[in-house]
Structure 1
């Protein structure tokens, strides 16, 4: 047998195998496919069956905010409410009960229109003009409720700030019957709000969802139904409550009970 022919044949087979394996490797692990790191992770999420609505890449600014429990405000001002109503202060929550329910559709309004008017009257809600309806938190509250009544969550706004508090410490929850009757509500309030430092750049909605995925807090085959930004409680220092801007996601997973997960919008950390 000609040794040179054997060697030539061996080299041809060896080189062909190298080319084939190299092509396969490059197909799976390309040196550069034009995608950003974020785009590659988003593609991985798609492969894992994770779905969501459109994600914003816009980055805004924000800062830490300090405030105090508004219990004293609620306690001192509840006397201004309708004298026929019953009020109870439990912790920092004011519970208002109406012996005679308020008919929200009395003037042809729907529930939301009627509540938007109701909340602004001083004899009906304390500092009600500082709150606005959150349709997303209302949907989340409704999903967690077993009641046939409709829940409407109003969140406290921060002066000169586009994003509101989304913590329960600064909310009003109205519960309306199927016959459009309001029998009462619960209110919590934050007072003496102030910014603690200059604004910094916050992560985008897309970056926040990527953080959840990288920290394994986004299960395979899950669906992100709601996403929004606001201020959430971070910690308490003496009597001051420290709030941080966050991204909050409402996630459904394989028919299980939906969960709420929160991402610190300043550093991308998952808030437990």
Structure 2
């Protein structure tokens, strides 16, 4: 198939997606309202406190902007495997997930893991497309350091474009990588709901249990649907909730365009 025909197919797909998304947006857009019990003298923060819910960081009231994005479902990592050196590599999930075990662990000084990784990932013989990612502390843990793929006006946060580096003491022993190819904007920028509105949505729908800590919030892109060989992404608020009793952490997602609560991936 020649390049011109491929270009025309992608153009037709994006036009169809654009029409579909316009209709979907008009149908799903709902105004974000405060709790029905809330008055002008009772803030969301005080309601949360009354239920033993605390907030680690201030909830921003500002509205940001985002796009509808689309990516090709063509696996891009398989073609890069031959460039990687000094690591044992396997591909899985129809060649969309790359797992690497380093022959020699990447050593770093205490507290400087991301500094070492940032230098390491710049070399295409170490990490495919390594320059296309950025560190996301909200998704990282004591044993995993997560980088998300950069896209227009944000990063992918749902796993389709991530590198998770395995950390053991002061060493990086390997990583798991996914990558979304050919990211394209489908529509002009649109305003998103604020962080405060996202929390209010979760709270009024009983999605935040009593005695919980809202550990963090981050606006990023998440998968909306797969259509004709492409994946469509939208901005979403990722909200991390930690139980004060068990210390278990759960993550919630809120569609940053419509304000609807999104089901977690299986």
Which of the five TM-score ranges fits, normalised by the shorter chain?
A: 0.7 to 0.9
Distance change (3 Å), C-alpha of 1:85 and 1:208: same
Match of 1:237 among 214, 222, 227: 227
The answer for unaligned runs of 5 or more in structure 2 is: 1-37
The answer for unaligned runs of 5 or more in structure 1 is: 1-31, 143-149
Match of 1:164 in 2: 155
Distance change (3 Å), C-alpha of 1:237 and 1:54: same
Q: What SS is found at the alignment partner of 1:250?
A: strand
Measured against aligned partners, the alpha-carbon deviations of 1:144-193 in whole angstroms (never above 9, x if no partner) come to xxxxxx2100110014x2x2111111100111211x22221111000111
Contact 1:87-1:95 at 8 Å conserved across structures: yes
Match of 1:15 in 2: none
After TM superposition, the score normalised by the length of structure 2 is 0.78
Query: Are positions 1:63 and 2:67 aligned together?
Result: yes
Aligned ranges 1:64-143 → 2 under 5 Å? 64-69=68-73, 71=75, 73-82=76-85, 84-91=86-93, 92-105=96-109, 110-139=112-141, 142=142
- Work out the number of aligned pairs and report it: 222
Match of 1:204 in 2: 194
Structure 1 segments, 4+ long, off by >3 Å, are 32-35, 39-42
Q: What SS is found at the alignment partner of 2:208?
A: coil
Question: Going by fraction, where is helix more abundant, 1 or 2?
Answer: 1
Measured against aligned partners, the alpha-carbon deviations of 1:34-75 in whole angstroms (never above 9, x if no partner) come to 54xxx544432222221112110010111211113462x210
Distance change (3 Å), C-alpha of 1:34 and 1:254: closer
State the alpha-carbon separation in 2 of the partners of residues 110 and 254 from structure 1.
30
State the alpha-carbon separation in 1 of the partners of residues 159 and 68 from structure 2.
18
Query: Are positions 1:54 and 2:54 aligned together?
Result: no
- Structure ID, larger Rg: 1
Contact 1:50-1:221 at 8 Å conserved across structures: yes
After TM superposition, the score normalised by the length of structure 1 is 0.76
